[in-house]
Amino acid sequence: MPTPSSILAGRERALAEVDLEAIRHNVRRLSRDLPAGAVHCAVVKANGYGHGAVPVARAALEAGSRWLGVATATEAEELRDAGLDAPVIIFGPMTGAELERAARARADVVVWSAPFARAALRLGARCHVKFDSGMGRLGVDEEHVRELARLLASGPSSLVGLMSHFATADEADTTFFEYQLGRFTALARELKAAYSDLICHTANSAATIRSPASHFDMVRTGIALYGLAPSNDDPFKDGLRPAMRLSSYVAGVRVVQPGQSVGYGRRFVAERPSRIAVVPIGYADGISRALTNRGDVLVAGRRCRITGTISMDQLTVLLPEEHGRPGDEVVFFGESSGERILCEEVARLLRTINYEVVCDVSPRVVRRYRGAAPAA
């Protein structure tokens, strides 16, 4: 009989496997229909949506991405510290100190105010003016875009791009998407006539897939880069391949009798003799407590229900008769023995989006990468 130590040999308590070949495939898919001269920007902010910014960035660049997108100066510094030399654009707002760090990291910055533009000019930063075409967050209207463009054009190589962001590109009703695209198209045409080298970009993942008219000089894809559906439905219909697979293992199996409960709050009370698997992963690893008594997992390739309250470091699963034993793999999203749970399924249960499911996978979950390029 195998010992517990031999059964669990090589198991990680919580493991996120990231398929870098899936990242490369997704870059090639998203770049497939771009017009001549247009380039792909791989958005690797938030630690690559939980997948790992540096490994994902390397794989994306290997597959043809030309730019990298992040949200903070710290994220830009991480890419530079890893030796990545591709153009990096920081999308988010920054303090003066962060702007100085961004300039030292040779990162492009996004501008929507004259004071910030002047500070960027003084530091010699490359700038993209943000037009608020309807998102209603950061950005300025057409007239202020023109003013900022004139200001930045007074410095050497300071005016690099014009950008915007779509609010509803992932929704079935395209009315507002088309309104935003029309506004951006008109302004891009005008500014291109005045600044011929201007890089115009507004397409996110959903727009990149659905609307060639939105591609302009560059597309910026985040969620689709990771093989997840922009509309939170089925990534495979758009030719995408999910890159992350999250798993743990069965640490032990016990039988509870009718009337006995499992977990905090006694949210599961057995009505019949029941086999319960204890799995060493919990909400501190990114398994939302809201999946209590609702979410499914794959135990040795078979769907089983999370049963009882999800704890910080452990959860419990109801096993069918004769199925499941210590050491069996437990998959939270990904494939196992021909069965599949998508992040989109988990997101719908949580009434959220797939972005949140992968971003919530915590730093203490071990990342393991498959498909890394051979060392030079």
CA distance 21 to 192: 36
Active site residue 264: yes
CA distance 124 to 118: 10
CA distance 227 to 30: 10
Please choose, from the candidates 276, 313, 270, 312, the residue with its C-alpha nearest in 3D space to the C-alpha of residue 297.
276
- Helical segments of 195-249, H only: 205-210
Please choose, from the candidates 244, 241, 181, the residue with its C-alpha nearest in 3D space to the C-alpha of residue 210.
181
Residue among 237, 249, 264, 355 flagged as catalytic = 264
Q: Between 142-153 and 114-123, two packed helices, what is the crossing angle to 10 degrees? A: 20
Residue among 45, 49, 249, 283 flagged as catalytic = 45
Q: For residues 240 and 229, is the Cβ–Cβ distance under 8 A?
A: yes
- Helical segments of 45-90, H only: 45-49, 53-62, 73-81
Active site residue 45: yes
Active centre residues (catalytic): 45, 264
